[in-house]
Amino acid sequence: MARVGVFVCFCGANIADFVDVPKVVEEAKRIREVKFAIDYKYMCSDPGQQQIRDAITQYRLTSIVVAACSPRMHEKTFRKALSDAGMNPYLLEVANIREHSSWVHQKDKKAATEKASDLVRMAVAKSIANEQLHEISVPVTKRALVIGGGIAGIQAALDIADARIPVVLVEKSPSIGGKMAQLDETFPTLDCSQCILTPKMVDVASHPYIELIPYAEVLELEGFVGNYKAKIRKKASYVNFKTCTGCGTCWQKCPVKVPNEYNMGIDKRKAIYTPFPQAVPNKPVIDAAHCTMLTKGKCGICAKVCEKGSIDYKMQDEIIEREIGAVVVATGYDLWDPKPYEEYGVGRFKDIITSLEFERMVSANGPTNGVPVRPSDGKVPKNVVFIKCIGSRDEAKGIEYCSKICCMYTTKHTILLHHKVHDSHAYVFYMDIRAAGKGYEEFVKKAQVDTAATYLRGRVSKIYKKGDKLIVRGEDAQIGQVVEVVADLVVLATAVIPPKDNPDLARLLGVSYDKYGYMSEAHPKLRPVETAKAGIFLAGCTQAPKDIPDTVAQASACAAKVCGIFSGDTMKKDPMISTVNNEYCTGCQNCVKVCPYGAIVTEEVPMGHGSKEMRTVAKINEGVCQGCGSCVAVCRSMAISLAGFTDLQIINEIVSI
Amino acid sequence: MITLGLQEKNTLLAEVNQRSGANVLECYQCGKCVSTCPVSQYMDFPPREIIQLVKLGQRNEVYMANSTWFCLTCSACSGRCPRQIEIPAVMEAIRHLAIEENYVNDSTKVKEIRKFHEIFLDMIKRYGRNYELRMMAEFNIRTRNLFKDMHLAPKALLKGKIPLGVKPMKSAKAIRRMYQLAEKLEKKHQ
Amino acid sequence: MKKVTYFPGCSAHGTSEEFDMTVKMVMKSLDVQMEEIPDWNCCGATSAHSLSETLAYALPLRNLVLAEKLDNATMAIPCASCYQRLKVTKVHMDDNPELARKINSTVIDEGTYKGKVAVKSMLQYCYEDIGLEAIKSKVTKSLAGMKLACYYGCLLTRPKNITHFDSPEYPMSMDHIVEALGAKATEFDYKTECCGASFSISDTEVVINLSSQILEMARESGAHAIVVACPLCQSNLDMRQPDIEKHTGKKINLPIFYFTQLMALAFGMSQKDMMFNKHIVPVEGALANIGKIEPEPEKVKKPRKAVEAESEVE
Amino acid sequence: MDYTKQIQEIASKLFAEGKIDVFVGYRLTGFDENQVPVLIRDQKDVSQLVFNDRSVFNLVNYLKYEHTRNKRVGLVVKGCDSRSLNLLLTESQVKRDKLYVVGIACEGVVDEQGNKMQNCMECVFPDAIVADEMLGTPHEVRKYKVNADIDELASKGLVDRRVYFEEVFENCIRCNACRHSCPLCYCAKCCIDQETATLYNGANTTSGAFHALMTWSLHLAGRCVDCRNCEKACPSHLPLHLLHKWNERVIYENFQEHLAGVHEGDRGAFYKYSMQDPDDFIM
Amino acid sequence: MEAVANNQLVSIEKPEIVAPPNWEPVIIGILCNWCSYAGSDLTGTSRIQYPPNIRIIRVPCSSRVDPWFLIKSLQTTADGVLVSGCHPGDCHYISGNYYARRRFLVTKKLLNFVGFHEDRIQFSWVSAAEGPKFAKVVAKVTEDIKKLGPLHLYKKENFEK
């Protein structure tokens, strides 16, 4: 016979003013199973909890009902009180008589009291069916996987490795460094991007706890937090990294020229190449799509000139597996292709370039030796028009959101332009200047005052050609007039978008992503680096556009979260998960089909006791199950039940009203 | 000066949105429409400002502005609007509302434009089709500008550019009936 | 033989008689049979939708209803303004059956609107239904030597969600057609700027201002003439050209052709039928360029490369 | 439609080659022209087998009993039967390699009075979908038709329907013949008999019948293939097909024209979803 | 899709038992933990008032709701049921509500077919931020069921509370 204790809370006046608390206690006492009922001013306070603890021992209670605020508020508190008194904490039920009664029926005390009594009775009925549950502990593999080797991935990998946790860093391209390696200087301090990034890249390569796998991609991730298994494909580089010294003879002699991605296609690289001089690892790879030896079987020069014999045209992709405990996703961003801006003549006019192209031009190691030039005739431009919000904040042609960094990098570009071409003039068409950040507004002021960049408030409506100039037409809303700027060069601040394959990666990882393709954080405010899937974290622009300081901060936060998971040898997990009753299971595997986490597998069990004949039944993986109950509702034979929300508990609630 | 906060509710906004099917609240004043509009320089308020005035509920300014009459419905603005607002529809909605509520902009230009449209519609009512020469002549008479475009006339007529007659429609009656029914429908609508 | 429903529009019997004539000639030679909508009426143009929402729909709807009585899948309209009104009406009626029923009540004597005829501009019909190949095959007298600025105006490609034809900013269909005729289309950035349209009569100042910019940009592009597909554009650019020249003090002298006139020309038809005499700006100067092929500036020939396109080999 | 000879030959061949342990078919009742299912275990009994338009029962049902479990089985299936077999295969209840399926391109079967069965008149897939061997000339896939009884009942008022079904549930005697005859009801212990369910509603009452039949029809929603074994088995002659056909219609019309057991691997409408599913009934 | 339009089967259920004076319906609300239960909590913290007839049961996800909970509720204590979950696409458990939505539609139609008024079971999507919406939903459901009167159909005979 169940012995239930009921504890009704006044919550100061919050409940007591609108619900007749003594009446609720009285009603509770009339329930057969209730052996003890009491009210108190604040049940959650220490004296309140003490009453529960005392009553448990004194009345030999088998389950507890607390009628107070929402269980989302204090369920944990009261569970703690139960376990302090030596009782299984999952024998607690909370009747929510504050949010669901006293606060929402303030005009009708009688009805509110009646409802509170009903809620208590339901909780009592449910608690009778409660079972003792025990936290599940799951072993942890202490190795982290970082996907993406841009500044976010580099920072996360270094921070985790510094805590002496092994890290596997997988990078898609031949070198780590990411977008930051393409930048000339960084706002708002105008630090040289290479100067601050390269030391970190070298650290990654030499760190004893980091395994760097460049030119590779993640193929599969299975398992659950603490126990993932990742399949990684190492793309064939056709160069044996173990013997290659990175001397550079091969790429000097290679006859095939390909547009150089690192310089946004402004100049050419070879078919065997390192992306840029400071690349880490500084070993070349062969671009299989363009190498004539690999496409047509002709050439073979690099193999001839390589003294170490490191070139291997027969190399195949290799698939490796790593056991890991947590994942940091840092896949970065792409830039939006401005082709839909037909009114600007994008694609028709050579002298319209994107900001990253401009960045490469003004970069000291860039294709034009740090001087911006007009692609059409190679002349140095005088009047340069910068147009912001290309694709950003434009749901008609691009995306709805603000890309966050364009205001600042455009400001930086006006200053860099002024530095590189002293007699130039920058015109900036903007809609708003979003300069919220440390030193950002001062930086904008510097551009507007020191370099006298002309800021025009409005979106450009049309660009057309007159002679060899581009005429840029837009409204300056500040004077309410249409203005036309005669420009030599137009720079488009194109929007930040997630990498094209982000959704694929997200699906592979089992992480949700938004309509644009950014991966979704678990909570926009309180859990900004976690994903809804335990053990997978987000750093940098893979979650949303952000600048370098924010990216680095988020990467370090990810590292802290990873270290948190790895702080013990096992992890604790809520026991409210599904279990299978083998006796009833028919092995139809509907549950396997609907489980959103792949937490259900099958196993073979004997047909009957001692029987040799086997049959298939479902089996829940405790570590993976999140306790949604989807499987329970599709189980026709009612073989699966969800601890904490069993059919019996819910039916008890329904019939006891 | 415009004083805000006196109106109980911005009914203008609701009416314009309802009539046009657009939502002018989406406008974030980027001004792309203004520099796109071929006739914004002739307008009292270019499209961006008209929309802002609608948002501010300034019925008189909006209705009395010549902007809506100057709109050529060339749809260049709406094609480029980043928020995809159907600006020509907004302009049309305002124009119809102004006509219905008897706001009359009596600047010469607007009067001429309006007269032109009225004569044009009248012409269709009478003949079912447009009769260009008569149209031009009637317009000049009604706007008391007898000699406008007279310098074009000899050349145009001589070259047969503007023919002297028109092939009339057989069932002009059907058109007149359409006009009556349309009028009735619009009355009911109001 | 193709069959198509034809809606000539009021101006076909007035200012753009030459468009109407050449369309008929060209279609005949392309083996297309045109059936004129019996007893069509004016589409209402800008005036109707300036003053009355109902009439703006009712006038075109009557034509749409009449067109359904002919048994053709498509209707082709030479006048851009008529095309726009009919297409807008069609799209709105198809989207909103309630509205369609309401407007239909004003022309119920003619029948019930079903929405089964596709509405296309003559340009669209030539480009999509006839096709460049068919046009090319009829060319007997190439227009090589002529440089032409193709001017589309507002209504043929805009708004995109109504017309669903070509680019609203930088369309190329007419350019492709004139190139199929042998002429060269110039890079012309004012392709879709407005000429002033219906202000032709009511506000000449606007028309002069807007048209002059278009003419100037066409001149700048190196064109010998402008090609249009809209009677109103033609009349604004042609008839107002003397005024514009007087106003700006610059000689322009750009004849304005309908694209069908040039098609007829290239198909080797008699110049007399094309009614070039109706043009205010004389066409002879521009037509004199036919056959005068400028020698291409000779390029310094580089040694042929082994691998072209994406990559190259030194 | 009479394939008696062919089936006898096939069964005899299968036994001769040692390919099967048991053959599930039909035999005559012995006192009239109607038929009952029969399990043939020996080649010499093959002559008992018949097949014509009186072969109404869905033999797939016999795959769930011990007699056939883990044995190599030969089986005759019509269009509707094959769909239920498809479902059993998908739900891992039978192994395809242990079955030899004789598929029939079915012309429709008749009831005891010799009238064509209603479900045959509305049949969408008359030909067996799963088969090792086909008999008869194949048909084209037909258009889905809404059941005539459903149409009639749905057009009545709510009160009429309630009165109608109250009588139906009142007449149920909870004998469970329906679920025993259903090839898709193969649970070791039916949920309706489990403690949680019987706790408040186990009795043989109208409300108990209501609860049992509702749960049963929902478990078969999107899976029922309309073979009407249940109806034939029901001693109270309840119009059980109404519940199934209604669900089938709702599912067909709302969930991308889903029909049960048509595709291999398709578990039924409740085990998949689409973004286009109707949402307008939800506030 | 149109054929079983949502209003097609609704007609008035004839109440055989006349509602006693001061009769108040009992409505069972089954809410998912992450969106609707949180939303109902927000209704509370915002002090938005709604009729007191609803009794709330917490489940982890709307996909936990087995149709026979609804049948059982109507057979035993409830005059009406409301099930509420996360908006499509917002499910805490990724896809639970999509499966649930299918079951709900079929259950609702089936119960209507055998004689229950359609308003007896209702569904809603209420997010954790939609406190006011929850109050509105409850008010509407309560009002609908008050109009229908007490439910007596297939009630468990001699059921003792």
CB within 8 Å: E60 and A100: no
Distances from the Cα of C226 to the Cα of A172, C153, C188, C264, angstroms: 52, 12, 10, 16
Q: Does A348 touch chain C (CB under 8 A)?
A: yes
- Domain end residue (candidates: D87, D114, D135): D135
**Among candidates A584, A634, A651 on the partner chain, residue whose Cβ is nearest the Cβ of D189:** A584
What are the structure tokens assigned to D271, written together? 């085990």
Judge if B124 and B176 occupy the same domain.
yes
Q: Domain residues for B125?
A: 108-189
| CATH code for the domain in which residue C163 is found | 3.40.50.11810
Q: Locate tokens 């504050």: which residue? A: A98
Mean pLDDT of A462-475: 93
| DSSP element (H, E) containing A578 | strand A578-580
pLDDT recorded at residue B160: 59
Within a domain: residue C130? no
Report how far apart, in Å, the C-alpha atoms of E72 and of each of A333, E66, E68 are: 52, 10, 6
The answer to whether residues D8 and D130 belong to one domain is yes
Tell me how far CA of residue A431 lies from CA of A392, A436, B80, in angstroms: 11, 15, 15
At C287 the pLDDT is 86
Domain ranges of chain E: 27-41+56-148
Least confident of A365-369, A520-524, D217-221, E39-43: A520-524
Instruction: Give the count of domains, chain D.
Output: 2
D113 interfacial to chain A (CB closer than 8 Å): no
**Chain B: nearest CA to C147, how far in angstroms?**
26
Calculate Rg over the CA atoms of chain A: 32
Q: What is the pLDDT of residue B133?
A: 66
**d(Cα A506, Cα A503) in Å, to the nearest integer?**
5
Q: Is the pLDDT of residue A459 over 90?
A: yes
Name the helix (H) or strand (E) containing C59. helix C53-69
The model's confidence at residue A449, banded by pLDDT at 50, 70 and 90, is: very high
- C-alpha to C-alpha distance for A3 and C123, rounded to whole angstroms: 87
Q: Which residues contact D166 (CB under 8 A, 6 or more apart)?
A: D206, E115, E153, E154
Q: What is the pLDDT of residue D113?
A: 85
Compute the half-sphere exposure of residue C72: CA atoms within 13 Å on the CB side of its CA.
Answer: 23
On whether both A228 and A261 belong to a single domain, the answer is no
B117 & B169 share domain: yes
- Give the pLDDT of residue E6: 39
Greatest mean pLDDT among A146-150, A361-365, D90-94 lies in A146-150
Residue A244 belongs to some domain of the structure: no
CA triple A269-A275-A278, angle to 5 deg: 125
Non-local CB neighbours of C297 within 8 Å, separated by 6+ positions: none
% pLDDT > 90, chain A: 78
- Alpha-carbon span A302 to A274, nearest angstrom: 14
Same domain, D11 and D49: yes
Token reading at A8: 């009704």
Residues B20 and B85 in one domain: yes
Kindly state whether residues C119 and C146 are assigned to the same domain.
no
Same-domain pairing of A359 and A463: yes
Point out the domain boundary residue: B54, B77, B100.
B100
Of the partner residues C168, C170, C311, the one whose CB lies closest to the CB of residue A290: C311
Q: Is the pLDDT of residue D260 over 80?
A: yes
Give the three-state DSSP class for B169.
Answer: coil
What SS3 class is residue D120? Answer: helix
Q: What span, in angstroms and rounded, lies between the C-alpha atoms of B86 and A456? A: 25
CA separation for the pair A475, A458 (Å, rounded)? 5
Give per-residue pLDDT as tens, B126-162. Answer: 777 776 666 676 677 666 665 566 566 556 655 656 6
Q: How high is the pLDDT of residue D238?
A: 92
In a domain? residue C302:
no
Using 50, 70 and 90 to split pLDDT, how confident is the model at E159? very low
- What's the pLDDT band for A611 if we cut at 50, 70, 90? confident
| CATH number, residue C45 | 1.20.1050.140
Strand order in the sheet with A469-476: A460-466, A469-476, A481-487
The per-residue pLDDT for range A179-209, each reduced to its tens digit, is 999 999 999 999 999 999 999 999 999 999 9
Kind plus residue range of the DSSP H or E element containing A602: strand A600-606
Structural domain for D119, as ranges: 4-135
Q: D8 CB contacts (<8 Å, ≥6 apart)?
A: D46, D47, D49
Edge-to-edge strand list for the sheet holding E27-32: E54-59, E27-32, E80-85, E121-125
Report the residue of chain C nearest A269, measured CA to CA: C311
Kindly state whether residue D142 falls inside one of the protein's structural domains.
no
Rounded CA-CA distance C90/A289 in Å is 50
As a whole number of angstroms, the distance between CA D77 and CA D174 comes to 29
Q: Name which residue leads in pLDDT, A621 or A496.
A: A496
pLDDT given at position A585: 92
Place of tokens 């903007």: A430
What are the backbone dihedrals phi and psi of residue A24, each rounded to the nearest 5 degrees, phi first? -60, -45
Residues D262 and D159 in one domain: yes
B142 or A322, which is more confident: A322
Task: Tell me if chain A has a CB within 8 Å of the CB of E136.
Answer: no
Residue A185 CA to residue D60 CA, distance in Å, equals 74
pLDDT confidence of residue D188: 85
pLDDT (mean) for C75-93: 90
Residue E124 has pLDDT above 50, yes or no: yes
Q: For A463-483, what is the mean pLDDT? A: 92
Distance CA E90, CA A441 (A): 37
Answer whether residue A101 shows pLDDT above 50: yes
Residues of chain A numbered 447-466 and touching chain E (CB < 8 Å): none
At B189 the pLDDT is 57
Q: Which of A72-81, A645-654, B140-149, D136-145 has the lowest mean pLDDT?
A: B140-149
Q: In chain C, how many domains are there? A: 2
C17–B163 C-beta distance less than 8 A: yes
Which of these three, A464, A479, A497, is where a domain ends? A497
* Total domains, chain A: 5
- Mutation site for B-interface testing, chosen from A475, A479, A482 by largest number of B Cβ within 10 Å: A475
Q: Are B129 and B169 in a shared domain?
A: yes
| Same structural domain, C119 and C143 | no
Q: Is residue C310 part of a domain?
A: no
> What contacts E89, CB < 8 A, 6 or more positions away?
none
Assess if residue C309 is contained within a domain: no
Q: Does the residue B41 lie in any domain?
A: yes
pLDDT of residue B50: 94
Any domain includes C255: yes
| Pair A292, A341 in one domain | no
Band (pLDDT 50/70/90 cuts) for residue E158 is: very low
Q: Are residues A283 and A321 in the same domain?
A: no
Q: Which token pair is A25?
A: 């206690």
* Residue E54, SS3 per DSSP: strand
β partners of residue A324:
A228
Question: What is the count of structural domains for chain B?
Answer: 2
Its ipTM equals 0.66
In which band, very low, low, confident or very high, does the pLDDT at A26 lie, cut at 50, 70 and 90?
A: very high
Let me know if residue C165 belongs to a domain: yes
**A648 and D272: CB-CB below 8 Å?**
no
d(CA A578, CA A12): 38
pLDDT digits (tens, 9 = 90+) for D172-190: 988 889 999 999 999 888 8
> Is D160 found in the same domain as D50?
no
Residues C198 and C281 in one domain: yes
Provide the pLDDT confidence category of residue C275 given band limits of 50, 70 and 90: confident
Domain boundary pick from B75, B100, B125: B100
Contact status, residue E97 vs residue E88, Cβ threshold 8 Å:
yes
Cα–Cα distance, C210 to A645 (Å, whole number): 74
Do D39 and D126 belong together in one domain? yes
Nearest Cα to Cα of residue A257 among C182, D146, C313: C313
Cβ separation of D283 and E140 shorter than 8 Å? yes
pLDDT at A619 over 90: yes
DSSP of A484-530: EEEESEEEEEEPEE--TTHHHHHHHHT--B-TTSPBPPSBTTTBSSB
Same domain, C151 and C112: no
Regarding whether C74 and C39 lie in a shared domain, the answer is yes
Task: Name the domain boundary from B45, B69, B100.
Answer: B100
D223, D226, D231, D232: CA torsion to nearest 10: -120
Average per-residue pLDDT for chain E: 83
Could you read off the pLDDT of D193-212 as tens digits, one per residue? 887 777 666 667 888 888 88
- Give the residues across from A169 on adjacent strands: A146, A212
Say if residue C281 is in the same domain as residue C152. Answer: yes
Q: Are B34 and B73 in contact (CB under 8 A)?
A: no
| Contact flag for D and C (3+ C-beta pairs < 8 Å) | no
- CB of E106 within 8 Å of a chain A CB? The answer is no
Quick one: pLDDT band at residue E11, thresholds 50, 70, 90?
very low
**pLDDT number for residue B145:** 62
Which neighbouring-strand residues pair with E44? none
Q: Check whether residue D71 and residue D167 sit in a common domain.
A: no
pLDDT at C308: 43
Confidence of residue C115 (pLDDT cuts 50, 70, 90): confident
B33 and B74 share a domain? yes
How near does any CA of chain E get to the CA of D171, in Å? 13
CB atoms within 10 A of CB A641: 22
pLDDT per position as a tens digit, C120-156: 999 999 999 988 999 999 899 888 889 999 999 888 8
**pLDDT confidence of residue C307:** 43
Residue the block writes with tokens 């030539």: C126
Cβ neighbours for C309, distance < 8 A, ≥ 6 positions apart: none
Residue A243 domain flag: no
| pLDDT class of B125 with cuts at 50, 70, 90 | confident
- Per the omega criterion (within 30 degrees of 0), is the bond before A188 cis? yes
Instruction: Find tokens 């007039």 and name the residue.
Output: A481
Q: Do A583 and D270 touch (CB under 8 A)?
A: no
Q: Residue C72 — very low, low, confident or very high, per pLDDT cuts 50/70/90?
A: confident
In this prediction, residue A525 carries a pLDDT of: 77
Residue A362 has pLDDT above 70, yes or no: yes
Does residue A134 sit within a domain?
A: no
Is residue A30 very low, low, confident or very high in pLDDT (cuts 50, 70, 90)?
very high
Which pLDDT belongs to residue C298?
60
According to DSSP, residue A101 is labeled I
Domain of A69, CATH number, reads 3.40.50
Query: What would the DSSP string read from start to end of D29-50?
Result: -SSSS-EEEEEE-SGGGGGG-B
- Closest Cβ–Cβ partner in C105, C193, C235 for B181: C105
Range of the domain at C69: 2-123
Q: Which of residues 117-176 of A touch E (CB under 8 A)?
A: 118-119, 122
pLDDT for residue A211 is more than 70: yes
A17 touching E (Cβ < 8 Å): no
What does the DSSP 8-state code read for residue D143?
P
User: Does C204 map to a domain?
Assistant: yes
What range defines the domain where residue A631 resides? 578-655
Mean pLDDT computed over every residue of chain B = 82
Same domain, yes or no: C111 and C156:
no
Beta strand A185-186 with A191-192 is antiparallel
Instruction: Based on the fold, state whether residues C152 and C252 are members of the same structural domain.
Output: yes
The answer on B143 and B89 residing in a single domain is: no
| Predicted local distance difference test score (pLDDT) of residue D142 | 85
Distance CA A622, CA A619 (A): 9
What confidence tens digit (pLDDT) does each residue in A116-137 have?
999 999 999 999 999 999 988 8
User: A584, D187: Cβ pair inside 8 Å?
Assistant: yes
CA distance A189 to A307: 45
Same domain, D54 and D161: no
**Does the distance separating the beta carbons of A637 and D92 come in below 8 Å?**
no
Q: Which of residues 38-77 of B touch C (CB under 8 A)?
A: 38-39, 42, 69-70, 72-76
Where residue E160 falls among pLDDT bands split at 50, 70, 90?
A: very low
Q: How confident is the model at residue E4 (pLDDT cuts 50, 70, 90)?
A: very low
Phi, psi of A240 (to 5 degrees): -80, 105
Say yes or no: B52 and B114 in one domain: no
**Are residues D121 and D153 both part of a single domain?**
no
Q: Is A407 exposed, middle or buried (0-12, 13-18, 19+ CB in 10 A)?
A: buried
DSSP string, B35-86: HH-TTGGGSSS-HHHHHHHHHHT-HHHHHH-SHHHH-----HHHHH-TT---
